[in-house]
Structures are given as structure tokens and as C-alpha cells.
Amino acid sequence: MSREKTDFWVGLFVLLGAVALAFLALRAGNLSTFSFAPTYTVTANFDNVGGLKVRAPVKSAGVVVGRVDGISFDDKTFQAIVSVKLETAYQFPKDTSASILTSGLLGEQYLGLTAGSDEENFADGGKIRYTQSAVVLEQLISQFLYGSAEKQGTTSPEPAAKTPN
């Protein structure tokens, strides 16, 4: 094999390796799903966002319809404000509800939208009124433990009073 052919194959191998590394870096950073489709922004307030992150998917009926654009804190209402960019191809009614859900038992969190039945759709800058905060596994476990401890304490029978014979 001539030197030029060897150089070509080595260069092609290095180029494919660089493309594979770029692909893995984008997948690890959740950036591989860039969409250049036009979007509109809506916001929603939550009491607890759990582990929701910026760039997390926004899904409706299992289909990704947008991405979480930003998460901030409102120090007047003490709630998290989640800003969402939805693709303009997907229009949602104004009474749509948003829930923070988890993929699988311990998977990543995403924002789930359930469409309402209102005649009017969200416009850019709209606000989702009906929200359900994230379910935090630690809170569920502590509620279960404290709840079962209370039941044991209140349902135990009182000792019967001894009557003198």
C-alpha cells in the first residue's frame, strides 16, 4: 500500500473518531436534540421542581414538544418559575396543565403537559395556571414512615384497668 493510501485511511479513522467523540459529548450534555424550529415561551409556577433541569424535555402524550428554557425563584411567592420553549407546531389550550414527571422509577425528570379544552391557545409569554409539583422520593418515604408510626401510636389499645377482687 502506498503512503498516500495509508495517510488517507488514518485521516479518515481520526475524523470518524472525532465525530464519535462530538456525538457522545452532545448526548452526555443533552444537547443532541437541537431544534431550529420556531418556538414560543410559556411559564409555570411550581412549589417544588425536584431535579428538573434546564434543557429537560417537555412532553405531551409521550412526544417531545419543547424544552425547559430556565428555572428561577420568585422570592415573593416562594415558588419556582419554570420557563418553557414550545415549538410553534404544537399549540396548547390556555387551560393546559403541567406536571413534573419522572422517566421510570429513578430516571430523569421532565415536564409533562396535559392539554385542556379551552378554545383559545397560549400566546408567546403565556402562563400555565394548573401545575403539579415534582414528587420527591425522600418526602414520600418520610410521610410513609411517620404515618405508620402515628398509626401504631394511636391504635394501640390502652391497658385495661384492674378491678379489685
Domain membership flag for residue 150:
no
The structure's pTM equals 0.67
pLDDT in tens, 110-158: 999 999 888 888 889 899 999 988 877 777 788 888 876 666 665 445 5
Q: Are 128 and 97 in contact (CB under 8 A)?
A: yes
Domain membership flag for residue 139:
yes
Domain that includes residue 99, residue range: 39-145
pLDDT in tens, 29-49: 655 556 677 889 999 999 999
DSSP string, 71-133: EEEETTTTEEEEEEEEETTS--BTT-EEEEEESTTT--EEEEEE----SSBP-TTEEE-EEEP
Domain membership flag for residue 94:
yes
Domain membership flag for residue 79:
yes
Domain membership flag for residue 25:
no
Sheet containing strand 126-128, strands side by side? 126-128, 39-46, 79-87, 63-74, 57-60, 109-114, 97-102, 130-132
Tally of domains in the chain? 1
Exposed, middle or buried by CB within 10 Å (0-12, 13-18, 19+), for 84? buried
Q: What amino acid is encoded at 112 in this protein?
A: G
pLDDT in tens, 52-103: 999 999 999 989 999 999 999 999 999 999 999 999 999 999 999 999 998 8
Domain membership flag for residue 128:
yes
